[in-house]
Amino acid sequence: MTPEYVVSLGNEAVKLTLLLSLPLLGVGLVVGLLVAVIQATTQIQEMTLSFVPKIIAVLLALLAVSPWMLNMMVTFTGNLIRNIPDIIK
């Protein structure tokens, strides 16, 4: 196992982590901005009003993209397991 391989494996893992978190964070950001605009226009400053819609939206997004996320993780793990003989040389 060379240092270059370890660095490339870490790079792939970080890219996968960012790619998997992007849809959920994006949905949370958009819903948070919409709720903030609504709160600013109506001057309602209830704290739970900002959290509940974000939680619901992120959970719905998770349900929508979970097959894709699972496929990406299984592919990464499968490639890692297939490369074990090359790694231990």
Domain definitions of the chain by residue range: 3-87
User: Averaged over 3-19, what is the pLDDT?
Assistant: 93
What region does 43 belong to: left with phi over 0, alpha with psi -120 to 50, or beta?
Answer: left
For residue 24, the model assigns a pLDDT of 96
| The two three-digit tokens of residue 20, written as one number | 């998997």
Looking at residue 2, its amino acid is T
For residue 82, the model assigns a pLDDT of 93
Question: 21-80, pLDDT tens digit by residue?
Answer: 999 999 999 999 999 999 889 888 887 888 899 999 999 999 999 999 999 999 999 999
